[in-house]
Amino acid sequence: MTRRHCLQTGAGPHATRRPSLRRFDDKPPNLRATTTDDERTKGTTSFGLRHTKSHTLCRRCGRRSFHKQHKSCASCGYPAAKLRSYEWGQKAKRRHTTGTGRMQYMKHVSRRFKNGFREGTTATRKAKPSSE
């Protein structure tokens, strides 16, 4: 009997008991788990170490898609001059297109167009019809 086994089992150096050769789980073979710990673990086991953020808020679109190291937004393409959009992403285009927000400026364009985009003028005062 080895010294290590004596320390683990608590048996003295003169113990006559032999170590058990049985499996640790006393279940019948058909109920034993067939997978090992290595097979049960999926993906990387170092997810707990990732505590820093690679993306931050974008100043153009406001989403958390601006990559700190690449210095570019994955959503709108900032700092590129043109907005990022692709033909393979029609649903994304529908989400971001004109008419999905407040349209603070565009709401008034059609009315201004009817009057020829006139600016800096005031309407002429109409004289009240006299009641005489």
pLDDT at 106: 97
pTM above 0.85, yes or no: no
How far, in Å, are 97, 106, 109 from residue 77 at the CA level? 15, 23, 28
pLDDT at 131: 76
For every residue of 90-128, DSSP letters joined together read: HHHHHHHSTTSS--TTGGGHHHHHHTTS--S--PPPPPP
**Given the structure tokens 């992403």, which residue do they identify?**
89
- In the structure encoding, which two tokens stand for residue 35, read together? 């997978």
User: Are residues 85 and 93 in contact, defined by beta-carbon separation less than 8 angstroms?
Assistant: yes
| Pair of tokens at residue 41 | 């673990």
In whole angstroms, what is the distance from residue 13 CA to residue 21 CA? 20
The rounded average pLDDT for each run of 10 residues, N- to C-terminus, in the chain (132 residues) is 59 60 61 60 73 94 97 97 97 95 96 96 89 70
Helix (H) or strand (E) holding 66, with range, is strand 66-67
